[in-house]
């Protein structure tokens, strides 16, 4: 099965779009628009590859749990596909929010990313509302707005396919991927008030050189200690910073592709509840999750089948 572009590397310009179908939209119209959207995504990818082969442009479509049922897509569902349930810790919560369709658009050239997003909007606005529009950008050497390199633990090479794409463990959905997203808003004033040495303890890495602390120095509630759940359990992250300088609302759009959603759940449980419980990820004292949604990314072949 050919996969969508889930293992592409982060790009300079990104649009993250979440659309929800209107409750009063006619079911037949919703299904017809969805078919056209599936065909459109394939067309946008092919066109970008032909016209701008060096732009590293792509669009990945993810489908939410409620939308999958509403559109009467194949059953049984992917083995770990479900409505994401909030994970509530003693202090912080990984909230659950609705999302019907998720578009992940990447391009080196901002104009191309914008055109792809605008074209999608023109097709879907008849039956749905855009509830999330985040324009991400590459910040220096792939750093978050907090100033630390983001995604150092990402797999590379063939490991990207192994950890991001479903194999023969779920034959009906081979080539697909679980997509989980969260929109985080950072308290930059509080973060900047921390000395660099304290920031490094929160993350578990050096700020300038991106060197992981040794286990005997790294705090047990550091982000690295809790978000990494073992070499056999990885995901492919494509996080991007975003925000408004004038409003000081800066954040990180967390996005990951995984061959098993249980890996993501383990990461989130460690972060929000803690390991052991109560020992939560200290980065959450400075970063608040405003959204949290699980989508399923069908293979490119299955997406093609949905378009007819």
Active site residues: 150
Query: What element of type H or E holds 24?
Result: none
10 Å CB burial of residue 294 (0-12, 13-18, 19+) is buried
Residue 198, both tokens: 């304290």
Contact 62, 101 (CB under 8 A): yes
CA gap 271, 184 in Å, rounded: 14
CA gap 59, 258 in Å, rounded: 17
Contact 25, 148 (CB under 8 A): no
The upper half-sphere exposure of residue 213, i.e. CA atoms within 13 Å in the direction of its Cβ, equals 22
Cα dihedral across residues 242, 122, 128, 255: positive or negative: negative
Contact 110, 1 (CB under 8 A): no
Phi, psi of 165 (to 5 degrees): -120, 135
Residue appearing with tokens 């808003």 = 185
The partner residues of 130 in beta bridges, in order of sequence, read 19
For 248, other C-beta atoms within 10 Å of its C-beta total 11
């Amino acid at each position: 099965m050919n996969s969508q572009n889930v293992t592409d590397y982060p790009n300079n310009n990104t649009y993250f779009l979440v659309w929800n179908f209107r409750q009063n939209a006619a079911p037949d119209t919703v299904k017809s628009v969805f078919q056209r959207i599936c065909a459109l995504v394939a067309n946008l990818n092919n066109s970008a590859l032909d016209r701008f082969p060096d732009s590293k442009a792509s669009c990945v479509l993810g489908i939410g749990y409620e939308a999958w049922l509403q559109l009467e897509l194949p059953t049984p569902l992917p083995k770990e596909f479900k409505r994401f349930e909030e994970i509530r810790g003693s202090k912080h919560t990984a909230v659950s929010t609705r999302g019907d369709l998720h578009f992940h658009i990447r391009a080196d050239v901002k104009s191309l990313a914008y055109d792809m997003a605008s074209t999608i909007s023109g097709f879907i606005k008849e039956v749905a509302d855009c509830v999330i529009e985040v324009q991400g950008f590459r910040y220096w050497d792939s750093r978050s707005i907090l100033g630390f390199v983001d995604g150092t633990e990402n797999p590379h090479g063939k490991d990207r396919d192994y950890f991001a794409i479903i194999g023969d463990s779920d034959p009906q959905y081979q080539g697909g991927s679980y997509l989980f997203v969260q929109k985080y808003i950072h308290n930059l004033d509080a973060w900047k008030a921390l000395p660099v040495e304290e920031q490094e303890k929160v993350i578990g890495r050096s700020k300038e050189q991106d060197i992981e602390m040794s286990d005997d120095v790294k705090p047990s509630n550091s982000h690295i200690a809790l978000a990494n759940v073992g070499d056999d359990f990885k995901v492919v992250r494509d996080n991007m910073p975003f925000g408004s300088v004038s409003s000081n609302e800066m954040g990180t759009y967390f996005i990951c592709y995984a061959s098993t959603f249980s890996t993501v759940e383990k990461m989130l449980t460690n972060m929000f509840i803690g390991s052991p419980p109560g020992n939560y990820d200290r980065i959450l004292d400075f970063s608040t999750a405003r959204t949290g949604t699980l989508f399923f990314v069908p293979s490119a072949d299955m997406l093609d089948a949905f378009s007819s």
